Amino acid sequence: MTPRMPGRLRPPAGALRPPEFTGRLHDARTATAVGRWLGAAFAVCFLTGLVSHYLQHPPDWLADRLPARPVWGYRLTQGLHVSAGLVAIVLLLVKLWTVYPRLFAWPPVRSVRHALERLSVAVLVSGALFEVLTGLLNIVQWYPWPFSFVPVHFAVAWVVAGSILLHLAVKAPEIRAHWRRLSPGTLALPAEDVRDRRSLLLGTVAAAGVVTVTTVGQSLTPLKSLDLLAPRHPDHGPQGLPVNRTAAAAGVSAGALGGWRLEVVGPRPYDLSLDGLSALPQTRVRLPIACVEGWSVEAEWTGVRVRELIERAGGRPGVDGLRVTSLEVAGSYRVMEMGTEYAEDPLTLLALGLNGRRLSLDHGFPARIIAPNRPGVLQTKWVHRLEVR
Ligand SMILES: Nc1nc2c(c(=O)[nH]1)N[C@H]1C(S)=C(S)[C@@H](COP(=O)(O)O)O[C@H]1N2
Ligand SMILES: [Mo]
């Protein structure tokens, strides 16, 4: 068995000697095999992350074109985002284990090209670790950093995407050699290498599978009973639905709701008490709440169609958008903009009821927004004003 020493040269005698690695799987072949899965997981994260970003922060030209169908669209893309991110943690660890002997390459820098290559790998590795770590801590709602998660996670995603493309370009010759050796009749690998690699890859698949099966139930509700490691369980919460931010956390108290009236601003402004709202035609819809943190669950909502409230104020559904303001005093989700596709959709409600009962305070009493194919953060609770734009 030949020790694999990545550098070509030995250090001078007497110098600090880099460690020797005798494992047979620290080679380009294993790195390529794991790397393509990792690349696929990151691609899913990147694309679904883009979807989530543009649904939450659309440029002006896109805001009124965002589609309200399929109703489960955001549920699917965000579930995939978090599941692929969790699998990426397993794959990233295996990949780093495969290639870490290269950290000790001797000499550390052979040429300008080599220095640049090592620098680009350093950016890639730190960016990738940053993304999976911040994503993981975000889904357990722990924010031990001074910056705000969303913009930084989004910005670093571009850095990682760029460094992956660069990495693929730099490694293209090795990747190509790997695939060529797979063709029959060329260089055969020692049987024990093949066996070990197969074990490693099977172990990796098994670990990724366990992570997925024990977490995906937070969104894929048929598997909810296996949801052992996920931060949320779809059934745990008042009225059979998790709560992301409680009324207490948002500074909304039952007392402050005393004289609550819904204020609707538009060409013909009006306001309504809760009794007045309840007296309007009520619609019942089944729609999911899909949180950006990866849990989602479908529920039955009753309330007044937002398009009817817009029409009553003299607005034109399909032409006018809506600004929704919550009673919440501070917080990033106090004011929400709704594009025309959602505002005119017959499934978009100002909901008063959830799963057959009046909304509980934590779910947004007296009234909240529920709309199809939108991130949970935009399903505004404790609504108090609608402005027709
Ligand atoms: N006003 C207000 N509405 C809000 C929030 C908030 O912090 N403030 N959180 C949002 C988030 S992140 C989610 S996932 C959904 C969750 O709704 P639920 O608590 O009824 O399940 O509410 C949304 N509505
Ligand atoms: Mo959320």
Return the DSSP state at 1: -
What is the pLDDT confidence band of residue 4, given thresholds at 50, 70 and 90? Answer: very low
Distance CA 377, CA 245 (A): 10
Which ranges of the chain would DSSP assign to H, the alpha helix? 28-56, 60-63, 73-99, 112-139, 149-181, 191-213, 247-250, 274-279, 306-312, 340-343
Average pLDDT across the chain, whole number: 92
pLDDT at 13 (0 to 100): 63
Question: Which residues fall within 8 angstroms of residue 243, CB to CB, at 6 or more apart?
Answer: 237, 362, 363
Reported as a single tens digit per residue, the pLDDT across 44-79 is: 999 999 999 999 999 999 999 999 999 999 999 999
Residue 363 Cα: closest atom of ligand 1: 20
Q: What is the pLDDT of residues 254-266, one digit of tens each?
A: 888 889 999 999 9
- Ordered by where they begin, the domains of the chain are 28-226 (1.20.950), 238-388 (3.90.420.10)
Please tell me the residue having the least CA distance from ligand 1 atom 16: 244
Tell me if residue 304 falls in helix, strand or coil: strand
Which residue, by CA, sits nearest to atom 15 of ligand 1?
Answer: 376
Q: Quick check: 12 pLDDT over 90?
A: no
**pTM of the shown model:** 0.93
**Which pLDDT band, with edges at 50, 70 and 90, does 188 fall under?**
low
Q: Output the residue whose Cα is nearest ligand 1's atom 18.
A: 243
Mean pLDDT of 199-221: 97
The DSSP string of 3-16 is -B--SSSPPPTTSP
Which of ligand 1's atoms lies nearest the C-alpha of 328? 1
CA atoms of 134 and 143, how far apart (whole Å) = 8
Give the residue-averaged pLDDT of 141-158.
95
Q: What is the pLDDT of residues 226-245, one digit of tens each?
A: 999 999 999 999 999 999 99
What pLDDT band is residue 16 in, cutting at 50, 70 and 90? low
Q: What is the pLDDT of residues 309-342, one digit of tens each?
A: 999 999 999 999 999 999 998 888 999 999 999 9
Residues with CB under 5 A from ligand 2 (ion): 244, 291, 376-377
Please work out whether the CB of residue 382 comes within 6 Å of at least one atom of ligand 1: yes
